[in-house]
Structures are given as structure tokens and as C-alpha cells.
Chain A
Amino acid sequence: MRKRVQDSYLMKCFFIVFLCFVADSTIHYFLPYNFTKTSITITSCLGLMMFALLVRTIVEGAERYFFAAVCSVYYSIVYANSLAIYILIYCLIAFVRSYLFKLDTLNIFESMIFCVLTIFAQECIVYWLMWITNMTRYPMVSFVVMQLIPTLLFNGILSIGIYWIYNKVKIEVE
């Protein structure tokens, strides 16, 4: 009985994160986009934020990493053009939530800070990977001013809505 409840909760988490990815894609489609990096670039990260909050509410450790692996592979294939670094990022977030930042209940400020830090880590890791593989020569200062800070501010505001949905969805970790 307990297992069945956990299975349905895991499926609910997948569904919520999937919906957040779809919302990300839609926001991304309508936001002004900047391929030439001449002005501000904002990336919506609703799915990442929801994943970072929900992963701790999954009781079993193995299921947490399974949740991380499936969400990240889905994101990599559908949205990020098979950029396979995401699975490592998502597993790292699951690890951090399991052993380092393992607060069972978060207030709105803690969740906002955690979400912003998660997005900051992801953006920096991806930029570093793009730089060392010579995919970009985008200067770091421009990256921080034109992409990183606007993305963090935009998603910081959206994290308020994410926190509200998270509170409706989550079960308390025993």
C-alpha cells in the first residue's frame, strides 16, 4: 500500500516537472530571443526549479536519482539538443538536496534562494563547458551582465509561483 502511494507520488512529480518544462518552452518561444548575444538573454527555468524543490520530497534515495536521471534525459533530448551535461547537473542537485541542503520544509525565501543558486550553478557549468570545448568565445563579463543576472532575476520572480505549486503538490518527508 505504501509502495503504491510512493509510485503514484513519483508519477505525480514527473507530471508536474513535465508541465513545467512545457511552460518553459512556451515562455521561451514568446520571450524576445537573442541569437547574436547583442542584448539581454533570459532563459526560463521553471522545470529546473520545480525539480530542485520536489526531489527532496521523494523518500527513497534510488528513486530520487531515478527521478533526476529521467527528467534530465528528457530535457536533454527534447529541449537542449542532447547536451548530456544536464544529467550530471540534475544528479548533483539530487545529491545536494539529499545530503547537504536537506531541509524538509522550506519557507518562500529559502526556496527562492535555493532556486536562484541552482540556476546560477547550472548556467555557470554550461558556460564553462561551452568555453572549454571552444563552442563559444562569449566574454565572461558580457555573459554575467547580459545573460546570467537577467536570467536569475526573471526566475527569482517566477520561483514565487513555483513555491506555491510545490506546496500544493508535495507530501511531507517522513
Chain B
Amino acid sequence: MYRKGNKWTKQKRRIVVVTVVLVLFSVVTLVTSRSASRIEIIFKDTIANLEYYMIKAPAQYVTGLFEEYNDLKDVYEENAKLKEQLDNLARESAMNEVLTNELNDLKEMMEIDYLPTEYQVKYTNVIARDAQSWNNQVTINLGKSSGVQEGMAVVNAQGMIGTITNVSEISATVSLLSSETAKSQLPVMILSGEDEYYGLLNRYDINTHKYSITLLSDVEKIEKNAKVVTSGLGGAGKSPKGILVGTVENYTSGDDATESVCDVTPSVDFDSLNDVAVVQRVNSQ
């Protein structure tokens, strides 16, 4: 009876110790804002991948079947449109080949190996989103084993959505450009008519729903709806030049004391992010 009681007290003591350790660990994390350790990242990625491949992907496949059945009704009209575009495709392919050859000749003459606009893309999809909507991060199923590195740009069909901030072996975390507190500034370029202006994308303004860009160049005037693209000046391994970020909505010129700021409408619809691609600069291989 005494031995059973003693054993029960030991077990209770162990439970109390584990609970206190977990609470202290959590308080330390909260106070010091420490980033996740390698074990936590591996554990999180394992669970995220298991959930995706065992539950979410099959469910998505089934819902996709119903959507495809609905899309079948529009096949005839889409087919007619695509046939028209095919006629133009041959002409554009030929022009593309001519321009590529000219570019290669010029690169050889100038002794340039890679241009900042040259990149490759690796297609992937979003496997998990943050449970709470405050962090503006998603997880993709490409990691170090696929050549993904921190700082690489992530895009979808509409433009740039964010950058890779954390990489594990089989997955990576993407911090979206819609984050109110960006971890790093994105170098961008504004194409206003024949002029090009350089700036840094600081953050996303939750009240105006626009990007806030600080201009680094002296600017006289910026056209409304001028395109904003990545400038490629972040260094090797970061975003290449020419990826669409958004269009200018308005511009506030600053004096000596204040900086010039541009409000930019995002090109991407952040509400539908499923199929994305990681952009890899050619000269970062």
C-alpha cells in the first residue's frame, strides 16, 4: 500500500515538473521572442506534410473533380479561344527565338554570364497556412532538398507573393508581402513612362490595403498605374529583376525631413493562394 502510494506520488511529481517546464519554456519564448528551434521546425513540418498528403490533398482532389465537371460545360468556348491564340503562338515563338539569339550574342560581346532578369521557377503548392491570421505566412512543400534557399522570391500567376524566410529539408515558410511587419525590405523599381525609380517595399498598410514603398531616387512625377517590379538588387539568391509587384496608386513627395512614399496596389489576390512557384536566379546556382 505504501509502495503503491509512493509510486503514485512520484508520477504526480513528474507530471508537475513537466508542466512547470513547459510553462517556463513558453514564457521564455514569449518574453525573448526567440525563433523556433530545429526540432520544432522538423516536428511542425512532419505534421503539416502528413496532414496535407493524408487528408487535405485527397479532399482537394475530390472537390476538384466536381469543379472539373462544371468546367466541362465551358470547354467548347475555351477551345475556340485557344485555337485563335495558337495562330499567334507560332509567330511569337519565332520572334522569341530571334530575340534570345540576339541577347546571347550581346552577352558574349559584353562578357556577361547572367542577366538579373534570368531565372528558373519550381512549381509547388501551399500545404498549410498559419492557424491565426496575424503572421501572414504559408508553408510550401519544397525545401532544401529541392534547392530552395532563404530570401528566394515566391510568385503566382499574378505576381510576387512573398519571400522564403525559413527552410527545412522538405518544406519552407513563405512570409507574404501582405505582412504588416516585413522582416526585410524588398528592393523594387517603378516604371513610370521612360523613367525608372528605385525604392524599398517596407510593409503592407492594413488600413489602405496598399504596399508602402519608400523611394530612394529623386522623383519629379510618377504616373498613376505605373508598374512596380522587383529591381533584382537584393543580391545573388534573392528576387531577380522584373517580377510584378503591383501598380502605383498615389505618390507623396517628401521634403528634406521626410521621405517620399508611394502607395502601391498589390497585383496579387492574396485570398487565393494554392499554386505558387519559387523563383531561383540563374546566377545563384
Grouping DSSP codes into helix (H, G, I), strand (E, B) and loop, the A interface class, with mixed when no group exceeds half, is helix
Report the nearest B residue to A123, measured CB to CB. B132
Chain B nearest CB: distance from A22 CB in Å? 6
Segment touching A, from B90-98, B107-115, B123-131, B149-157: B123-131
Residue from A22, A39, A66, A83 within 8 A of B19 (CB atoms): A66
Chain B nearest CB: distance from A76 CB in Å? 7
What are 16 residue pairs bridging A and B, where the CB atoms are less than 8 Å apart in the complex? A22-B51, A35-B133, A37-B206, A69-B19, A70-B22, A73-B25, A77-B40, A81-B130, A81-B137, A84-B27, A86-B26, A88-B27, A88-B30, A91-B23, A139-B207, A147-B133
Whole-angstrom distance between the alpha carbons of A152 and B30 in the complex? 26
Interface residues of A in 93-119 (CB under 8 A from B): none
Number of A-B contacts (CB under 8 A): 128
> Inside 8 A of B121's CB, which chain A residues have their CB?
none
Complex contact A87–B44 (CB within 8 A):
no
Complex contact B132–A73 (CB within 8 A):
no
Report the nearest A residue to B134, measured CB to CB. A130
Binding site for B on A (CB under 8 A): 3, 22, 24-26, 28-30, 32-39, 41, 43, 60, 62-63, 65-66, 69-70, 72-73, 75-88, 91, 126, 130, 134-139, 147
Chain B's interface size range is: 35 or more
Chain B nearest CB: distance from A84 CB in Å? 4
Residue from A26, A33, A62 within 8 A of B271 (CB atoms): A33
> Inside 8 A of B270's CB, which chain A residues have their CB?
34-36
- Asked whether B251 is an interface residue with its Cβ less than 8 Å from the other chain, the reply is no
Q: A34 with B8: in contact, given A78-B44, A135-B180 (CB under 8 Å)?
A: no
> Inside 8 A of A139's CB, which chain B residues have their CB?
207
Whole-angstrom distance between the alpha carbons of A65 and B12 in the complex? 12
